């Protein structure tokens, strides 16, 4: 038996991407380096310049063998993708979506909290009241590639887009969501629309009931998406884990991020729970062209995403250290970036957080 302490080393792929991605990812990296030093974690980074800028000069968001270059990493930390001049569907389908699908990152996890020191636009959502997670199906559903256009430019022009729900794809995301609710000691709400969408959503509901039977310890209910959206605004405190299809989860999680007070804080994880492939962590916000280059972006979304990455890599104490520092910098200091009503730069705000780490 040897007592030698082995340091875990993780290989991280950094894709800052476009706009403020290049400002928030360096901030997240400073936080990662600091927390890694304290917890004896080895993190090595490789940075990739895949972006709209690359598209403009080389005609592709990433190289043909992009996924192969990423495959050997333990995780991917991404800033934001998309910039004026390149259509959003080109940037999205040229980089983010191939990674999510190619690496079977079928769970999109978006935690939402109202922090002390960040007023919610909702009168009744105080700090500690709102603490929920949206689990969004991330690789199928309404965002499919099946469909087409007919009669372009003619009066009878039409577009057809198929939504694809598979037993395997729905079951696995439901199982993830039920298990998460169980770990949190909470309950699960399923977002549906089986009154209006007559094939896929009743199928979704049947599978929810099936998986609920396999997780008898988790209380659950379901709501139609329109009513659910209203309840997110009227009473967000009642929710814990909310599971939704790709489209419903996309919209609900942005709504929930707004309820928490700022899109600049919200994090996301694209998970391959089986760990056959690297998972990807990214703030919910985009490249914010209106403020890019000025050094005033809020880095918390990227920093919280980096904390989710640490958790996924098996370091929950290091992750909690980061989220605690986020809560403390907001509750105990007046330092804020302009989106939260302050005057601090990205760097000054990160400095304040590093001091509390
Ligand atoms: P956005 O999230 O980039 O910006 C919306 C508003 O929020 C802007 O006023 C922006 O200044 C502000 N904002 C966002 N993040 C902030 C931060 N960290 N600190 C301070 N303020 C922040 O969304 P928008 O304008 O709709 O999209 C801009 C580009 O980003 C588009 O090309 C879009 O396709 C792309 N995008 C990419 C995403 C991704 O990479 N996952 C997600 C959303 C948008
Ligand atoms: Mg979205």
> Does a structural domain hold residue 314?
yes
Averaged pLDDT for residues 181-191: 97
Ligand 1 centroid to 139 CA: how many Å? 22
Averaged pLDDT for residues 66-78: 98
- Which of 285, 299, 343 should be mutated for ligand 1, with most atoms under 8 A from CB? 285
Ligand 1 centroid to 288 CA: how many Å? 4
> Does a structural domain hold residue 186?
no
> Does a structural domain hold residue 153?
no
Please report, rounded to a whole number, the percentage of residues in the chain having pLDDT higher than 90: 91
Q: Could you read off the pLDDT of 43-66 as tens digits, one per residue?
A: 999 999 999 999 999 999 999 999
| Ligand lying nearest the CA atom of residue 250 | 2
Is there an atom of ligand 1 within 6 Å of 250 CB?
no
Determine contact, residues 31/65, Cβ cutoff 8 Å.
Answer: no
Is there an atom of ligand 1 within 6 Å of 344 CB?
no
pLDDT for residue 1: 39
Return the minimum-mean-pLDDT range out of 143-147, 219-223, 246-250, 291-295: 143-147
C-alpha 302/C-alpha 86 separation (Å) is 23
> Does a structural domain hold residue 161?
no
Ligand 2 centroid to 44 CA: how many Å? 29
> Does a structural domain hold residue 165?
no
Best CA proximity match to 338, nearest among 296, 302, 304, 286: 296
pLDDT for residue 6: 52
Ligand 2 centroid to 249 CA: how many Å? 9
Q: Could you read off the pLDDT of 274-293 as tens digits, one per residue?
A: 999 999 999 999 999 999 99
pLDDT for residue 120: 87
Is there an atom of ligand 1 within 6 Å of 346 CB?
no
pLDDT for residue 7: 66
Domain housing 21: 9-113+261-357
> Does a structural domain hold residue 78?
yes
C-alpha 167/C-alpha 139 separation (Å) is 13
C-alpha 69/C-alpha 75 separation (Å) is 12
Give the pLDDT band (50/70/90) at residue 263. confident
Is there an atom of ligand 1 within 6 Å of 16 CB?
no
Number of domains composing the chain: 1
CATH number at 266 reads: 3.40.718.10
> Does a structural domain hold residue 212?
no
Strands 188-192 and 220-224: parallel
Is there an atom of ligand 1 within 6 Å of 263 CB?
yes
| Ligand lying nearest the CA atom of residue 61 | 1
> Does a structural domain hold residue 122?
no
Ligand 1 centroid to 26 CA: how many Å? 17
Is there an atom of ligand 1 within 6 Å of 339 CB?
yes
Ligand 1 centroid to 123 CA: how many Å? 25
What tokens does 316 get? 């929950």
Is there an atom of ligand 1 within 6 Å of 79 CB?
no
Which contacts of 88-91 are long-range, i.e. CB under 8 A and separated by 24 or more positions?
90/55, 90/61, 91/18, 91/52, 91/55, 91/61
């Amino acid at each position: 038996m040897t007592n030698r302490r082995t340091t875990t080393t993780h290989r991280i792929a950094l894709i800052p991407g476009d706009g403020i991605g290049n400002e928030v990812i360096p901030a997240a990296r400073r936080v990662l380096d600091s927390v890694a030093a304290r917890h004896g974690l080895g993190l090595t980074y490789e940075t990739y310049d895949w972006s709209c800028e690359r598209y403009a000069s080389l005609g592709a968001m990433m190289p043909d063998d992009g996924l192969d270059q990423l495959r050997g990493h333990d995780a991917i930390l991404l800033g934001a993708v998309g910039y004026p001049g390149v259509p959003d569907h080109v940037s999205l389908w040229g980089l983010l979506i191939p990674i999510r699908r190619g690496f079977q990152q079928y769970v999109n996890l978006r935690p939402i909290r109202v922090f002390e020191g960040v007023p919610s636009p909702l009168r009744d959502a105080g700090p500690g009241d709102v603490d929920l997670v949206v689990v969004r199906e991330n690789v199928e559903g309404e965002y499919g590639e099946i469909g087409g256009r007919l009669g372009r430019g003619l009066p009878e022009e039409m577009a057809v887009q198929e939504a694809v729900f598979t037993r395997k794809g729905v079951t696995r995301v439901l199982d993830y969501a039920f298990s998460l609710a169980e770990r949190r000691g909470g309950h699960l709400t399923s977002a549906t629309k089986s009154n209006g969408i007559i094939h896929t959503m009743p199928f979704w509901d049947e599978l929810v009931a099936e998986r609920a039977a396999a997780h008898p310890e988790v209380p659950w209910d379901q709501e139609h998406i329109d009513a659910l959206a209203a309840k997110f605004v009227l009473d967000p405190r009642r929710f814990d884990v909310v599971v939704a299809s790709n489209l419903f989860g996309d919209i609900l999680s942005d709504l929930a991020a707004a309820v928490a007070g700022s899109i600049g804080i919200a994090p996301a994880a694209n998970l391959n729970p089986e760990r056959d492939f690297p998972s990807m962590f990214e703030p919910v916000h985009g490249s914010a062209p209106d403020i890019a280059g000025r050094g005033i972006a809020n880095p918390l979304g990227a920093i919280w995403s980096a904390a989710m990455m640490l958790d996924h890599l098996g370091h929950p104490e290091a992750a909690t250290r980061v989220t605690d520092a986020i809560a403390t910098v907001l509750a105990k200091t007046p330092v804020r970036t302009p989106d939260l009503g302050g005057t601090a730069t990205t760097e000054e705000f990160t400095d304040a957080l590093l001091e509390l780490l």
